[in-house]
Amino acid sequence: MTATVLASAASAQTYTQTAGQGAVRTSASPIELGLMGGYADGLNGEAFVHVPNVAGAFGVKAGVSYGQRDAIAKPTGAIVDITAGTNYKAEGSATVVSLDGTYGLGQVARGTTATAYAGGRYGMFGGKETYTLAGADYSNDFSANAFGLGAGVQISGPVSSNMDLVGDLGVDHFFAGEVKRTAKMGNTVLEEDTYTDAADIKYNRFNAPGTNFKAKVGVKFRL
């Protein structure tokens, strides 16, 4: 029998194939480091580490993402102190840590492979609004931490021997939890509260995390 060594550029794995048999992996896949950017409840960037083929086609991926989000609902007439103020500004952010199990789905087109993933999430969400009233500067700071679950698929294709272009489509869902608010005038704390009541018109304007769809593109490198 004649042995043929095949190098798969898409997964950087080494296979030995013998006539009449399928491809058998003879060396472990390298660690993959990825950087992506795109949309996930707002503009978002993500870095991840992926170890494929830990047990057959199953692997492990860990990542962290950071992005901007529309965190605070626009004030209404019910919030007299804010709507009467000037120089109103609002901003929000989200940091999400993820740990996923992965499964290699193989080639979906020539030189292009797909990897499905699913796992746990821990999100740290924040928002801040500022305004001026009667010559004084006021602010409301909101924060919420939440556990969640997520799943998706990554499609990758080789650019060079150790770098792939990658696209990621997925969805994350975060479970409802407490939202904290701190009201300040300058650096002086006026009020602090914690709530979960969605009917609280005055204070519950923080867009608590829920179900977020994401679409990102980037590159990954094999070490």
At 154 the pLDDT is 97
The structural domains of the chain, with segments of one domain joined by +, span 30-222
Alpha-carbon torsion angle 199, 201, 204, 206, nearest 10: 120
* pLDDT by position in tens, the chain (length 223): 333 333 333 333 443 322 333 333 333 568 999 999 999 989 999 999 999 999 999 999 999 999 999 888 766 655 656 766 788 888 999 999 999 999 999 998 888 999 999 999 999 999 999 989 888 999 989 999 999 999 999 999 999 989 999 999 999 999 988 888 899 999 999 988 887 765 554 556 788 788 999 999 999 998 8
SS3 assignment for the chain: CCCEEEEECCCCEEEEECCCCCCEEEECCCCEEEEEEEEECCEEEEEEEEEEEEECCEEEEEEEEEEECCCECCCCCCCHHHHCCEEEEEEEEEEEEEEEEEEEEEEEECCEEEEEEEEEEEEEEEEEEEEEECCEEEEEEEEEEEEEEEEEEEEEEEEECCEEEEEEEEEEEECCCCEEEEEEECCEEEEEEEECCCCCCCCCCECCCCEEEEEEEEEEEEC
Whole-number Å distance between alpha carbons of 145 and 206:
13
Whole-number Å distance between alpha carbons of 1 and 222:
32
Domain 30-222: homologous superfamily in CATH: outer membrane protein from Thermus thermophilus HB27. (2.40.160.70)
Whole-number Å distance between alpha carbons of 10 and 23:
15
